[in-house]
DNA sequence: AACCCGGGGAG
DNA sequence: CTCCCAGGGTT
């Protein structure tokens, strides 16, 4: 069980385990604070295997803060395309530019770094501890799961204020000689051993000090309330082709869901006839008969799109505006497209 | 505090 | 299907 100085042993065993067993990941081969910052933003709500190719491309394309700070928005979005949460990359660029212009580098100061755009409590703690060895808490979902089990913390981890409890716990436990290995050790443990379901307790280096393991409660922690389920929204897409082989695309509003990204004409209705009315009105078209192209569901965090896509030819080609235009297939690929639009594109044009 | 914002993998 | 994931911004 827990001896009086169990915390000392806990941090020793955890950091030793991490230094020995850690996965070899691209962002663990650098001590460049800016590159580590990029990796932490990409890893927000996104899996390691997904991030790796994006991280490699991004650090090659934007090797210095200056390169990213003044990169063209459209090109930046293109390099983020498919990663999701597109405000992350806009905020990252704003934060990097601010840091570059104010400090000329990533500030090695948690309070200054935390003030930058897109840097929240987690990212601040992660970058400061990993890049500079500053003892700061980096509490993500993994850390809350691991510590809720080790310390038998029963607060609802879905509630915002619960994070502070875990930050205090981390500051009580953290290895001040190696905050980087301590924080990453907690996260690595959560990712590979102390998993949400069926944790591998027999492989766990710290099970000796784990309250949940001793009480056989590892499967019932952490406590997490359910969020309400998403609403379903019908989307009727009409991929409109002109007689000379161009396709009509429209740009989404600059705010909100999939801000600024391009799509085939879309109406929020499950009724094709209503969609035709809205889209012909919006783009001044004269549509031929609809041909069913593809039907699928697209899941967002708080919404589900039920997409039904058709293909049609228009004899009238309307007036292109700043937010819509007629594009050849190869031109479409240079626009920033959300995944649902890519699916429709592949169905009507071919991947 | 509640809500918004993507996408992919596991079971 | 459901749940989860190296979260932050806005209101």
Q: How confident is the model at residue A230 (pLDDT cuts 50, 70, 90)?
A: low
For residue A3, what pLDDT is reported? 78
Whether CB of A259 is under 7 Å from strand B: the answer is yes
Mean per-residue pLDDT over chain A, rounded: 90
Among positive and negative, which fits the CA dihedral A197, A54, A304, A229?
positive
Measured CA to C1', the nucleotide nearest A162 is B1
CATH number for the domain formed by residue range(s) A6-215 = 1.10.340.30
pLDDT range class, residue A331, cuts 50, 70, 90: very high
Task: Give the mean model confidence (pLDDT) for residues A259-288.
Answer: 92
Cβ of A302 < 7 Å from strand B? yes
Q: DSSP letter string over A162-173?
A: HHHHHHHHHHHH
pLDDT at A84: 87
CA of A226 to C1' of B10 (A): 19
**What does DSSP assign to residue A209?**
G
Q: Is the pLDDT of residue A229 over 80?
A: no
Looking at the predicted structure, is the pLDDT value of residue A133 above 90? yes
- Report the sign of the C-alpha dihedral through residues A203, A195, A170, A126, in that order: positive
Distance A195 CA to C3 C1' (A): 12
Residue A339 has pLDDT above 90, yes or no: no
pLDDT of residue A317: 78
Q: H or E stretch including A79?
A: helix A73-80
Which of the residues of A are catalytic? 40
CA A314 to C1' B6 (Å) is 32
Q: Which residues contact A212 (CB under 8 A, 6 or more apart)?
A: A148, A149, A150, A152, A218, A220, A221
Looking at residue A351, its pLDDT comes to 58
Q: Report the share of chain A in percent with pLDDT over 90.
A: 68
Residue A1's pLDDT is 60
A113 CB closer than 7 A to any strand C atom: no
Question: Å between A343 CA and C2 C1'?
Answer: 24
Gap from A108 CA to B11 C1', Å = 42
The answer, yes or no, to whether residue A88 has pLDDT greater than 70, is yes
Q: What is the C-alpha to C-alpha distance for residues A75 and A56, in angstroms, rounded to an integer?
A: 16
Strand B, nucleotides covered by protein (CB < 7 Å): 1-9, 11
A231-348 sits in which CATH class?
Answer: alpha beta
What does the pLDDT look like over A32-69, one tens digit per residue? 999 999 999 999 888 888 899 999 999 999 999 999 99
Q: Residue A314, SS3?
A: strand
Query: Can you tell me which residue has the tokens 């491309």?
Result: A57
Residues 67-86 of A with CB under 7 A from strand B: 82-86
Instruction: Say whether A175 sits in a helix, a strand or coil.
Output: coil
Task: Give tens-digit pLDDT for A239-273.
Answer: 999 999 999 999 988 878 888 899 999 998 889 99
Residue whose CA lies closest to nucleotide C5 C1':
A45
What mean pLDDT do residues A324-335 have? 92
Nucleic strand C near CB of residue A187 (< 7 Å): yes
Q: Within its chain, how far is the Cα of A328 from the centroid?
A: 31
Q: What pLDDT sits at residue A275?
A: 93
Average pLDDT, integer, range A226-240 = 81
What does the DSSP assignment read for A217-271? -TTT-S--PPPPPPEEEEEEEEEEE-TTS-EEEEEPPSSSTTTT-EES-EES-S-
The bases of strand C with some atom under 7 A from any protein CB are 1-9
Q: What was the pLDDT predicted at A80? A: 92
Q: Which residue is nearest to nucleotide C4 (CA to C1')?
A: A196
Q: How many residues does chain A have?
A: 351
* Cβ–Cβ under 8 Å, residues A104 and A131: no
Sequence spans of domains, chain A: 6-215, 231-348
The torsion angle over the Cα atoms of residues A162, A165, A166 and A170, rounded to 10 degrees, is 160
Under the phi-then-psi rule, with left for phi > 0, alpha for psi from -120 to 50, and beta for the rest, what region is A104? left
pLDDT at residue A171, rounded to an integer: 94
Q: Can you give the pLDDT at residue A159? A: 84
Which positions 215-274 on chain A have a beta carbon less than 7 angstroms from any atom of strand C?
224, 226, 229
Residue A154 and residue A134 in contact, taking contact as beta carbons nearer than 8 Å = no
Query: What value does the mean pLDDT take over residues A332-337?
Result: 90
Q: Which two tokens stand for residue A86?
A: 């597109």
Return the higher-pLDDT residue of A321 and A172: A172
């Amino acid at each position: 069980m827990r001896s009086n100085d169990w915390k000392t042993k806990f941090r020793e065993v955890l950091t030793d385990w991490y230094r020995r067993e850690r996965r070899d990941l691209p962002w663990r081969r650098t001590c460049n604070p800016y590159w580590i910052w990029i990796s932490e933003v990409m890893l927000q709500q996104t899996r390691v295997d997904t991030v790796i190719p994006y991280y490699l491309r991004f650090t090659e394309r934007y090797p210095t803060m200056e390169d990213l700070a003044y990169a063209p928005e459209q090109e930046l979005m293109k390099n983020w395309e498919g990663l999701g949460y597109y405000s992350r990359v806009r905020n990252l660029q704003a934060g990097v530019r601010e840091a570059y212009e104010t400090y000329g580098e990533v500030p090695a100061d948690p309070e200054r770094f935390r003030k930058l755009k897109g840097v929240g409590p987690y990212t601040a703690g992660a970058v400061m501890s990993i890049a500079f060895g500053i003892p700061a808490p980096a509490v993500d979902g993994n850390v809350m799961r691991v510590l809720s089990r080790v310390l038998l913390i029963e607060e609802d981890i879905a509630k915002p204020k619960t994070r502070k409890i875990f930050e205090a716990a981390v500051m009580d436990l953290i290895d001040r000689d190696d905050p980087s290995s301590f924080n990453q050790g907690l996260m690595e443990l959560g990712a590979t051993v102390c998993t949400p379901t069926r944790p591998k307790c027999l492989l766990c280096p710290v099970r000796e000090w784990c309250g949940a393991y001793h009480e056989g409660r590892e499967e019932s922690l952490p406590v997490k309330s359910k969020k309400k389920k998403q609403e379903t929204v019908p989307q009727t897409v009409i991929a409109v082709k002109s007689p000379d082989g161009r396709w009509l695309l429209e740009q989404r509003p600059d705010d909100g869901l999939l801000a600024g990204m391009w799509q085939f004409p879309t109406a929020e209705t499950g009724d094709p006839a209503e969609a035709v009315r809205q889209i012909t009105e919006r783009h001044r078209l004269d549509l031929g008969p609809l041909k069913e192209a593809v039907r699928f569901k697209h899941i967002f965090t708080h919404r589900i799109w039920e997409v039904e896509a058709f293909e049609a030819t228009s004899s009238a080609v309307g007036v292109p505006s700043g937010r819509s235009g007629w594009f050849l297939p190869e031109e479409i690929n240079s626009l920033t497209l959300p995944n649902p639009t890519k699916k429709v594109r592949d169905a009507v044009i071919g991947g």
